[in-house]
Amino acid sequence: ICDERELVSSIQGFKSALERRFLYAIVGYSVKTNSLPYLLKVMSKEGCYAEVVSYHEYRTALKCGFSKDKIIYNGPFKSKDTFMDAVLNGSIVNIETWREIEWLKELPAHNIYKVGIRLNVDISQISSDDENHPNDDSRFGFSNESGDFKEALNRLSGIENIRIVGLHTHRTSRTRSLSFYRHIIEYAQQIIRNYSLILEYWDLGGGYFGTMPEKPTYEQYAQIFFDSLDEHLRNIKIIV
């Protein structure tokens, strides 16, 4: 059972909270959470992007009416054909496997292509009060501590027609607290400074309460994002 009014109200609430603070904001719908075509069409109508994490979801989003430039392609389960199609047609594509970097080398050389990169976030390291279990790192993205993030940046920078313009830092914590997102932003910003990354967007991922009683609201999440970001980063596109 879906209460469409509640769903639309939730989308509009988060969009409004972000747009009051940021020049550019995107609300993406996690297709893996519920891929019913009916819901996807509601999301598209409300101006959401489709956030997909596999080639099945990529194709489903297209069938449900999302244009390719309204798709956020995350996850390690991209197929080569949908990955290349997404990059070529203006999707927001976040790199998180070594093979994706190799695929980028096969793109036509006469164009410039923009991609993002996923940073592996260890919750135990940056915000232990929010961990689900000890050593709560992620299976996804490139770890800065292991050196993989630096190596991925080096490999990407070695491809002449690729530009790194986005950062993806999705993690869902045990508490989904406001302080958790502040800690993620502070942690990632230090890495942005260390590597002098020039970003067009930051994908903060999901895991928000928003409308639940006695839990953080969309307004509070948006405000903690704004307060935690360096001033120059408040002008980039924020994705949730």
Amino acid 174: pLDDT:
82
Amino acid 221: pLDDT:
97
Tokens of 41: 């069409």
pLDDT digits (tens, 9 = 90+) for 139-185: 889 999 999 999 999 999 999 999 999 999 998 878 899 999 999 99
Whole-number Å distance between alpha carbons of 15 and 202: 15
pLDDT digits (tens, 9 = 90+) for 195-212: 999 999 999 999 899 888
Amino acid 194: pLDDT:
97
Whole-number Å distance between alpha carbons of 170 and 72: 13
User: Residue 2 burial (CB < 10 Å; 0-12/13-18/19+)?
Assistant: exposed
**Considering the chain, what is the average pLDDT of its residues?**
94
Nearest partner of 96 among 152, 164, 25, judged by Cα: 152
Q: Which residue is listed with tokens 């409004």?
A: 16
Contacts 24+ apart (CB under 8 A), 96-100: 96/140, 96/141, 96/142, 96/168, 98/152, 98/155
**Position 9, amino acid:** S
pLDDT digits (tens, 9 = 90+) for 84-131: 999 999 999 999 999 999 999 999 999 999 999 999 998 788 777 777
Confidence category of residue 236, pLDDT binned at 50, 70, 90: very high
| CA distances from residue 10 to 3, 132, 168, 176, 217 in whole angstroms, order as listed | 11, 26, 23, 17, 10
**Position 105, amino acid:** K
For the chain, percent of residues with pLDDT exceeding 90? 87
Q: How far is CA 61 from the centre of its chain?
A: 17
